[in-house]
Amino acid sequence: MNMEKMPSWIERLLLPKLNTIEGELKAINTRIDSLDEKIDIKIDSLRNEMKSEFTGLNYRFEKVNERIDSLRIEMTVKLDSLEKRIPVIEKIAVLELKIAEIEKRLAVA
């Protein structure tokens, strides 16, 4: 509908209301824009916090992996040491049995 064809009384009634609605819509858009900016700032802040948290977690996992590697090396060294001792222990056990037999023979004689 063309504004020129509207009767003047309709224009006098509607124009102030339309202007008020237009002003309210502009105010709403301004608030929405402001909220968008605040939301963007919050999202960026949360993103940075999450990156920081993940960086901290990665550091902790790296330290745990280093400890596990250290324990693995330590256990390997200890197992190697035990493997070397087992034949010696077996020989000692054989010698103890022989000594016990010799002591029995000497006690009988």
Count Cβ atoms below 10 Å from residue 38 Cβ, excluding itself: 10
Cα dihedral 68→71→76→82 (10° resolution) = -150
CA distances from 49 to 12, 46, 52, 54 (A): 56, 5, 5, 9
For 53-97, write each residue's pLDDT tens digit: 999 999 999 999 999 999 999 999 999 998 988 999 999 999 999
Q: Is the dihedral of CA 59, 65, 67, 69 positive or negative?
A: negative
The rounded distance, in Å, linking the Cα atoms of 102 and 2 is 129
For 8-65, write each residue's pLDDT tens digit: 877 788 888 989 999 999 999 999 999 999 999 999 999 999 999 999 999 999 999 9
